[in-house]
């Protein structure tokens, strides 16, 4: 009995040691490459770090003041707000509509789901270059100009910042192609979790079509919808690859206004001008913007709130 009692603490210590040994590499890597990096970046944002990543000449909040007074950065914020305001509801509606259609199909559902999901595995860089050099190249032989030519339209430069801003068609179509399948699968998972008994009971009461959608489907998809909306907002504010690759590092044409997002601006500032202090300040401003928008969205949609 004594031997058994003495063996139990030793076994507990062995288990704790094994747990610590197995998790130590992950915890050390997480601490060094994430939390230490975030802290170091914050120190850089408070210093005049040009051409060096060593905080030296402290300037306090001057980098933040310079950043927010820069018209190019404010224009990039306006650009991403417009992009988010358009792409989020369009992607949300398209993904939900496709999920409802695919969910009603009994045969070939898996094939359709895979077909729509495949673009989500494509690199944003590869897709951006495909859109730029083939679909919307602006050449008369480009696919988009060829299709519009069938309807008597002249070739147009899709990626120039002229009026009307046709580049929005390129950006939105690219984002939709890349993302709508992934969010459709999330909605499909939510639809498959709705009990069929609810629809059967509603059908007995004479509910059909839009009444079923408003009364059962949408309320039961509330948690999925809130999660999808949050993911879409965060993804939109983090837009980088398509803007950078479509508009040649953020610029389109000679003498035209920059078409860039905050991340493109920060990349050009930190990597192009090597102003790591200003770039780090911009990273924290963008992070605060994303966190603020996410909290506001969670407040209005009740994300994380216990039901009942």
Q: Encode pLDDT of 247-290 as tens digits.
A: 865 444 433 445 788 888 888 888 877 888 888 898 999 999 99
* Residue 190 reports pLDDT greater than 70: yes
82-86, 170-174, 179-183, 194-198, range with the lowest pLDDT: 194-198
- 52 part of a folded domain: no
Secondary structure (H, E, C), 82-141: HHHHHHHHHHHHHHHHHHHHHHHCCCCHHHHHHHHHHHHHCCHHHHHHHHHHHHCCCCCC
Question: Residue 215 falls within a domain, yes or no?
Answer: yes
Domain identity same for 2 and 122: no
Q: Model confidence over 134-176: pLDDT tens digits?
A: 888 888 888 888 888 898 888 888 887 666 688 888 999 999 9
Burial of 278 (0-12, 13-18, 19+ CB in 10 A): buried
- Is 81 within a domain? yes
4 and 83 fall within a common domain: no
Encoding tokens for residue 56?
């030296």
CB atoms within 10 A of CB 81: 14
Taking alpha carbons only, the member of 266, 74, 68, 79 closest to residue 161 is 79
**Same-domain status, 196 and 66:** yes
In whole angstroms, how large is the CA radius of gyration of the chain?
26
Quick check: 94 pLDDT over 90?
yes
284 belongs to a structural domain: yes
Helix (H) or strand (E) holding 279: helix 276-301
Predicted confidence at residue 234, as pLDDT, reads 92
What is the enclosing helix (H) or strand (E) of 65?
helix 62-69
Are both 293 and 150 inside the same structural domain? yes
User: Do 32 and 123 belong together in one domain?
Assistant: no
| Residue 37, domain member (yes or no) | yes
- Which two tokens mark 307? 């039901």
Report helix angle 222-237 to 276-301, nearest 10: 160
pLDDT at position 179: 93
Residues 144 and 284 in one domain: yes
Domain that holds residue 143: 62-301
- How many structural domains is the chain composed of? 2
Confirm whether 308 is domain-assigned. no
Q: How far apart are CA 123 and CA 178, in angstroms?
A: 9
Query: Can you give the pLDDT at residue 6?
Result: 54
- Locate 80 and state its tokens: 């991403």
Please give the angle made by the CA atoms of 136, 140 and 142, to the nearest 5 degrees: 35
Same domain, yes or no: 283 and 246: yes
Q: Which residues touch 110 (CB under 8 Å, ≥6 apart)?
A: none
pLDDT value of position 260? 81
Q: Domain with 129 in it: what CATH number?
A: 1.10.3720.10
- Cβ neighbors of 100 (< 8 A, separation 6 or more) are 187, 191, 213, 217
Looking at the fold, whether 14 and 86 belong to one and the same domain comes out as no
Say whether both 210 and 242 belong to one domain: yes
**Which residues, in sequence order, are CB contacts of 103 under 8 Å at separation 6+?**
109, 188, 191, 192
Expressed in angstroms, the distance from the first to the final Cα of the chain is: 50
Tokens 């209005």 locate to 300
The SS3 call for residue 23 is: helix
Q: Is residue 264 part of a domain?
A: yes
CA 294 from chain center: how many Å? Answer: 12
Contact 259, 243 (CB under 8 A): yes
Q: Are 79 and 261 in contact (CB under 8 A)?
A: yes
Tell whether 166 and 28 lie within a shared domain: no
> How far, in Å, CA of 182 to CA of 119, rounded?
9
Q: Say if 249 falls within a structural domain.
A: yes
Mean pLDDT, the chain, as a whole number?
A: 82
- At residue 183, the pLDDT reads 93
* Same domain, residue pair 279 and 144: yes
Indicate whether 17 and 114 sit together in one domain.
Answer: no
- Average confidence (pLDDT) over 67-89: 90
């Amino acid at each position: 009995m004594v031997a058994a009692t003495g063996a139990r603490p030793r076994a507990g210590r062995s288990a704790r040691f094994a747990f610590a040994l197995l998790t130590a590499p992950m915890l050390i890597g997480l601490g060094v490459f994430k939390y230490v990096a975030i802290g170091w970046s914050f120190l850089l944002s408070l210093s005049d770090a040009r051409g060096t990543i060593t905080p030296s000449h402290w300037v306090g909040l001057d980098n933040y003041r310079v950043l927010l007074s820069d018209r190019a950065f404010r224009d990039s914020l306006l650009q991403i707000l417009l992009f988010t305001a358009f792409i989020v509801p369009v992607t949300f509606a398209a993904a939900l509509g496709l999920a409802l259609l695919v969910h009603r199909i009994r045969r070939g559902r898996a094939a359709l789901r895979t077909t729509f999901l495949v673009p989500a595995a494509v690199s944003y860089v590869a897709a951006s270059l495909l859109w730029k050099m083939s679909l919307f190249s602006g050449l008369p032989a480009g696919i988009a100009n060829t299709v519009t030519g069938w309807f008597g339209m002249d070739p147009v430069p899709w990626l120039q910042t002229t009026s009307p801003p046709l580049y929005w068609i390129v950006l939105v179509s690219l984002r939709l192609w890349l993302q709508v399948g992934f969010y459709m699968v999330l909605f499909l998972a939510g639809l498959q979790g709705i009990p069929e008994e609810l629809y059967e009971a509603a059908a007995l009461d004479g509910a059909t079509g839009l009444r079923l959608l408003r009364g059962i489907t949408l309320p039961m998809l509330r948690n999925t919808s809130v999660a999808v909306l949050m993911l879409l907002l965060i993804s939109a504010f983090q837009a980088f690859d398509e803007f950078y690759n479509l508009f040649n590092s953020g610029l389109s044409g000679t003498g035209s206004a920059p078409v860039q997002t905050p991340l493109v601006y920060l990349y050009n500032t930190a990597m192009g001008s090597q102003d790591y202090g200003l770039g780090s300040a911009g990273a924290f401003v963008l992070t605060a913007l994303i966190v603020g928008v996410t909290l506001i969205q969670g407040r209005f949609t009740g994300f994380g709130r216990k039901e009942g």
